[in-house]
Amino acid sequence: MGASKAKSGDPQRIQIGGIASRPKKPLNRVTTTKYTWLTFLPLNFYEQFRRAVYFYFLIITIISFFVNETISPLVSLLPLLFVMIITALKEGLEDLSRSKSDKLVNTARVTVIRNGKEEVINSEFIVPGDLVVVRNEGDVPCDLVLLQSSSADRRCFVNTANLDGETNLKTILVPSNYVLSPEDSVVKVKDCIVCETSTFDLYSFNGRLETGGQGGEGGDGALPLTIENLLLRGVRIKGTDRVVGCAIYTGMHTKLQLNSRYTGNKSASSEKYINRFMVALIVGMIVVVVVLYLIERHKEKKIVPTMPFLGPPTNFNSAWQIFEDFLSFLLLFNYMVPLSAYMNIELFRIFSMHFMHNDLGLYDEETDQPCRVNASNLNEELGQVNILFSDKTGTLTKNLMKFVNCYVSGTNFQLQNTHLLCEDTGEQFELDKLDAEANVFFEALSVCHTVEVLQEVCDKPQESERSHLMSRKIVDRYQATSPDEKALLEGCASLGLVYEGQDNDVLRICRYPSAERLQFQRLHVLEFSSERQRMSVILRDQSGGSIWLYSKGAESAILPRCKASPRVEQTDGLITKYAQKGLRTMAVARRPLTEEELANFEVLYRKANTQLSNRNQLIAECYETVEIDLDLLGATALEDALQENVGETLEALQAAGLKIWVLTGDKVETAYNIGLACRHIPPGSKQHFIVNLTEPAELLARLEEIGSDNPEVLVVDGTTITALLKHTPRQFADLALRCRAVLCCRLSPLQKSEIVTLIKRRKKHITAAIGDGANDVSMIQEAHIGIGITGREGKQAARCADFAIARFEMLRRLLLVHGHYNSQRLAFLVLFYCYKNIIITGCMAIFQVYDLYSATNVYNSLYLWLFDFVYISFSFTYLAISDKDYSEETLLRHPELYKPLAHNRQASMGVFSLWILNGFVQCFIIFYFTYAVLNDENVVFNGGQTASFQTFGTMLITIIVIVGNLKLLLVARYMTYLNLAMIFGQIAAFMLTTYLYNLVASGELYDVYNQFLASLPLWLFTIVCSAACLLPDFIFKVVNDMFRKVPPESKAVV
């Protein structure tokens, strides 16, 4: 990628301006297509033939051209070609659409600086090292290191909605102490960027900018580059007139494109029973073929020699004759394996995806967000979930924070508009009436953050009235990556301490009503991470010049780093009380730094920040050197409101048989009380806690103790989870799976994923994970089904999930209605496919008894060609797509109806055997009714003619088509006029095609169907035989409906 091409994993060296060896560098061309015009047919056919059933039919088709004319090769070839052509057409149209989209992107016009002059070129011709100019509201065409900004503070704002869905603006900075002048592209050709090879991680970037030819790690000419200096492809510039960046990752190597490649390989549990059914049919077919072949061998040896009129006997012991005879039977019965079933299954999944996408019950009008299906092959899996893993913040709660309480100066305060209420005495305080320690605490909240203030074009002076502090002038222009930080600043502003923004890292604070202005120079930001669970800033107070480190985060991360004092225990106790109210808590501390400590830190930080390997670890170790000996200032408590109807949704899912695990980063008390409030933890249930245990012996003893008490709710913290997963994973999983609800607290994203993996490996459970943030992505991708919520933290989870919804309450409808329908419908589709193939091949098998096992086909080839696609396929496929065993309202009111679907009981081998048995019974009835009519007296036509062999086959297929279609009336639970039209339309299509073929003088059916339609005995036979076949089904339906349990106050849609 760079000027000097390195091996994969080696650092890249990219010359700024990229003059030398430009043609050798990769272009910025994006290609998302799978095929080209030359590779489409071979690649597409190769992919299709990787499916075993397709390959099997290909072999059978090839063999049929060389074996005797038992059955026309077209019987195998035409269905195979039809299915493959439809699949190829679908793939081709999708790829053509991708090609058109690629062309629009690649031909977009962009401005680059080459040889000191601006040129306008197509986006695809950008190469690494080019200086790319992007204007306000322009999209970044490739990954750029920001080198110049028209903004005075050398930064720009970007909207990353195209990457992660977040609408808050992010800040990108020009590397410190680097200036790009207009002539740099000509003069400073020695400046270059050294960086790691591109990775899919959107939130990590390591590199350095070497100026004046200075090389080496940590050299004087090396400036560190981080993700804060990187403009990613797809982001949009906001609020900055012009920026210039150096292209480093282009085309398919940009982080956006690397993230566009979904590498998951999830498959539904339905694939297992479909494969079982296919294997059962293939084994059954082979058994039938072997038995019939052995009987034929016996007949050839014992009976054929006694019938000289059949001609001289063949040498049935020759290898070719054995091969030909065996394959003749194999060709005859290969129709037992339903090739076209896969096409109908894909068609069913497309329609079920369409139903979910267009369901108004899954549409959020406020955000204009419908349900989105990213993995249609998992649609039916929504009906099989029995373990649900859920995030808490933003999923069960709104992630809309409100600053409600704080503990400072030994006093517990409640925020009430513009005042602080002491909960112990009931007194109200203004902020300026509090002591100096309290003022320092709120100053810490006002400066310890990374919030930006979006500038307005015509900004008027700030009004001094307190009532206007929360107006759009300042607060509504706060751009925060975390809702916690924004809520804390809004709370401070309501009290009169307003953060007004920053200029060149100088933070401006205004204290009202005195209008006193405070300024702090921000020297360093020690970033928050899920592992650190805290963030810090190093500031210089410009009024006195003193240096301070302010830190805030989870009390488990802050309190151990504070100096020992009684206040630490008092604060910890009050944080626990806050958490018991379901509030999100945070501790705040600070410490002074000397100039020497700052200098030592900066040396370590600069050295760590220019490393390309282990940079994050080295930086974390650097942070640890200054985040020590903190003076605790106090604690805050934020309220996060529950999502609408979250309690009702959880109760319904538990009633449906789902065991719900909430995996959260909050502390135990907070998560526990939220669990009670949202009814995740049932009131009055047996609740057990495993907290702060790490020794294997203690863990085993505690697990055994809880296991003997029939637990219903289990609460575990992050420290204990780490030990459980390391020492006793099997025992922990056994115990947890016995509980109705499990609550795991203080977890990192990795721990969430590990817990899902632990349960997923138990094989007996289908897991679903739901979340709304980037920290939930690993959990969502690990579960059998990942469900993302378009939340305030962005759309990362929704983009990576298999299904995306707007609110948690929609999960109830997604699982209980669509999951139920999809699972039930697919099972019916597959079972009916197997049943209909048994009927048509069963009659062929019985006929071998009466044709000396000669592998003769009893049907005309036309019937086999059209049976799947014209005679019956549309009617039962449409029924499978639209059938409803219960109404949507009934399924929502009675979630217990979800339970019978678990473990694919509706498609068990027992149910499959009943359908196959039903098919065998009906094929026996059809064959022997037909045989009885023609055996003794076969003069059945009005003209006195006898029935021919073609008449016999036509009688069989007529009953099969009629019975197969009318059976749908007995198995359907939801019948519409369109269903009826499809059923009788398929029967009419059979009659019409047969009649038209019967008019062809050269055809085998010439005049056969004319005589059939004119024969009263054959009409009577058709009615009686069809009724006899369907009578057992009718009796079964009546008895089943008599004993079918219909939920009270509801009525099934029948």
Tokens of 987: 């029967």
Tokens of 829: 């589709």
φ, ψ of residue 734 to 5 degrees: the values are: -60, -45
Amino acid at 874: F
* DSSP element (H, E) containing 538: strand 534-541
Residue 569 and residue 545 in contact, taking contact as beta carbons nearer than 8 Å: no
Q: In Å, how far from its chain's centre is CA 433?
A: 53
Which are the contacts of 952, defined by CB distance < 8 A and separation ≥ 6? 858, 930, 934
534-541 and 242-249 as β-strands: parallel, antiparallel, unpaired? unpaired
Largest CA-CA distance found in the chain, in angstroms, rounded: 123
Q: Clarify whether 391 is annotated catalytic.
A: yes
How far apart are alpha carbons 964 and 868 in whole angstroms? 11
Where residue 482 falls (left for φ over 0; alpha for ψ -120 to 50; beta otherwise) is: beta
CA dist list (Å): 562 to 552, 668, 696: 11, 21, 30
How far apart are alpha carbons 546 and 525 in whole angstroms? 17
Identify the active-site residue in 391, 640, 666, 868: 391
Residue 19 and residue 115 in contact, taking contact as beta carbons nearer than 8 Å: yes
φ, ψ of residue 167 to 5 degrees: the values are: -95, -15
Strands of the sheet with 169-173, listed across from one edge: 169-173, 155-159, 236-238
Q: At what angle do helices 40-49 and 52-64 cross, to 10 degrees?
A: 100
Exposed/middle/buried for residue 98 (C-beta within 10 Å: 0-12, 13-18, 19+): middle
Which are the contacts of 393, defined by CB distance < 8 A and separation ≥ 6? 399, 584, 640, 664, 665, 666, 773
DSSP, res 692: S
Strands of the sheet with 785-789, listed across from one edge: 372-373, 803-805, 785-789, 767-771, 387-390, 659-663, 741-744, 713-716, 687-690
How far apart are alpha carbons 930 and 162 in whole angstroms? 66
How far apart are alpha carbons 360 and 342 in whole angstroms? 29
Evaluated on CA atoms 684, 690, 696, 697, the torsion sign reads: negative
How far apart are alpha carbons 978 and 208 in whole angstroms? 67
Which are the contacts of 473, defined by CB distance < 8 A and separation ≥ 6? 459, 460, 462, 463
How far apart are alpha carbons 424 and 434 in whole angstroms? 16
Catalytic residue numbers read 391
